[in-house]
Structure 1
């Protein structure tokens, strides 16, 4: 873990980018699920 001491800013930036990627991925997955479920709910109302 020596590189964390050498590059304190770099690993924080990497951590933030990783968090953004994870959040973006899960939001995309939720959007896909929502898009797949929307036609089902429309059919259920009829």
Structure 2
């Protein structure tokens, strides 16, 4: 999974699939990005 390193040292892992406008889904402190795996197949084709 790609990773972004912020200037303050924070690491952000992200997924970028599809084409169109990006959708930003943020997980909470006790969760992770896999919480959104169920969501991706249901997004319209105009977003990624």
TM-score (norm 1): 0.24
Higher helix share: 1
Higher strand share: 2
Structure exhibiting the larger radius of gyration computed from Cα positions: 1
TM-score (norm 2): 0.23
